[in-house]
Structure 1
């Protein structure tokens, strides 16, 4: 008499910091999450973390795409064309739809003037993709022009409304704005 079929436990894929699945193993996913966290917090070390992720898993498309993004948009010391080629190859071999889409977005941002359109389409489909959201905030559109100065080049140390004075026409931080006609 045969017993019930033996079922293998389904392996859960590791996830990024927002719970999106990653096509890699746990150790490379941990390095990727570290890099993503550093990008989102604008901290040094993201390049090293993403490089560690792809060293641990050379077939990790999202890790390669993240490195290419940092090389192209942040000036990281990365061979962008080679890293993009690795991202595309790995995306074809082993990636889910979101990861393939992100690799394509980065390729378009590097190679064409319509990269911003690909990013918008990607975010329409994958609005929780934190790295794609960060890519949209870098200020580069893929046309070679900066459309927003990087935060690190700011020479101002004041708050956005530092010139606002209590009782003035512009509300500053902590000022009471109130309803029209109400005394300030």
Structure 2
């Protein structure tokens, strides 16, 4: 008797237990919920030759930044798929293998082709999506639109109550400017499956983009206690609440959330989240004029240095620059800028010259050379999207430019930027800044 995944695709296993635990593991993986590793290990124990269970375990290792384990698991998946996998399963493993081995451009190309043939193979369809997906980190300037296009192209293949698809379709729309539609879709996803960290995350983004920060705080405050601290998004979802508190001007509340959930010693999240969340929140606190307690910058930098010692990942490079500037490590920042500049000249940095420009601007801002900061950032402001991540994460760069203009006496240019942002996304912080400029 054939076994199937949650969306009706056949599975090459003769074990009911393996198929059932695989379905559970995929649900947990796609909802960023604890227990996925255990479920997938049970699937593999029930059928050691089950290729897709090995592949999903490899994906989970990759998410957790465990590259050696991910490579070993995907190799086992490839061997198993060659023995008794279907065409879909072999393609599935091949795509994941490319992603795990760092061949991002080829992985994106193959993932899109795979989705055309098997759109309901959601582990592969998920790879181009999200803030850290293959589209976001491709260096494309239009990756927000590309995610929407991908979701809409395949929407007909999913039921109206598919919580996973609703989550990512909604997030894609909210990030691309259709905030109302995005919020409606992500709310439906959350209503269907509350034990879904990705849905809460997407809904928080939609609320942020809609200027509903206090609603996001309430949502997260009520939901987060039920999400185990080992969950990969625990610290990052808490970061959203801290960001909303800071937008209200409540630095004390933001710092309390930071201490309890976000700082490296408190978070079990992915390194990319821990580094970006700590760097951007501390930077915002300092830039907005609040005191950062002693030791926080240094603790964040100490965590980040061994996690990302080399330049070349645009999103991380920007946040490593914020940490270096915040701790006064000018030598480390200049070394990273030099490496990034070489990559730009060699054509090997997908996001291009905007990355070293942001890093140089961060140093100028930290040294209070606001005119230089603005001079560096203004010409590349439209290209910041190329670093990937989300609008909420990238906004730290826009804040830097607005504050640099305000503090260097360029009130008219700061006013124009704030006016556009207030029309797009009203916030109490921007309203305060706008009042300062128009007083």
Asked if residue 14 in structure 1 is aligned to residue 3 in structure 2, the reply is yes
3-state SS of the aligned residue for 1:75?
coil
Asked if residue 141 in structure 1 is aligned to residue 141 in structure 2, the reply is no
Cα-to-partner distance string for 1:48-100 (whole Å, 9 max, x where unaligned): 11111111111001011111111113336971121111001001001111111
Cα-to-partner distance string for 1:7-61 (whole Å, 9 max, x where unaligned): xxxxx21111111110012110000000011122221111111111111111001
Structure 1 counterpart of 2:33, from 40, 43, 47: 43
Q: Counterparts of 1:124 and 1:15 in 2: how far apart (Å)?
A: 20
Larger RCO (CA within 8 A; separation ≥ 6): 1
TM-score (norm 1): 0.70
Shift in CA distance, 51/78, structure 1 to aligned 2, threshold 3 Å: farther
Matches within 5 A, 1:53-132: 53-75=43-65, 79-111=69-101, 112-113=103-104, 114-132=106-124
3-state SS of the aligned residue for 1:42?
coil
8 A contact 1:50–1:66 mirrored in 2: yes
Structure 2 counterpart of 1:28, from 8, 18, 25: 18
Q: What's the Cα RMSD here?
A: 3.4
3-state SS of the aligned residue for 1:18?
coil
TM-score (norm 2): 0.31
Q: Counterparts of 1:109 and 1:141 in 2: how far apart (Å)?
A: 9
3-state SS of the aligned residue for 1:37?
helix
Q: Which runs of 5+ in 2 are unaligned?
A: 145-197, 202-232, 249-421, 427-439
8 A contact 1:47–1:76 mirrored in 2: no
Q: Counterparts of 1:21 and 1:93 in 2: how far apart (Å)?
A: 16
Cα-to-partner distance string for 1:111-136 (whole Å, 9 max, x where unaligned): 22321111111111110012222333
Shift in CA distance, 121/28, structure 1 to aligned 2, threshold 3 Å: same
Higher helix share: 2
Asked if residue 156 in structure 1 is aligned to residue 240 in structure 2, the reply is yes
Aligned length in residues: 154
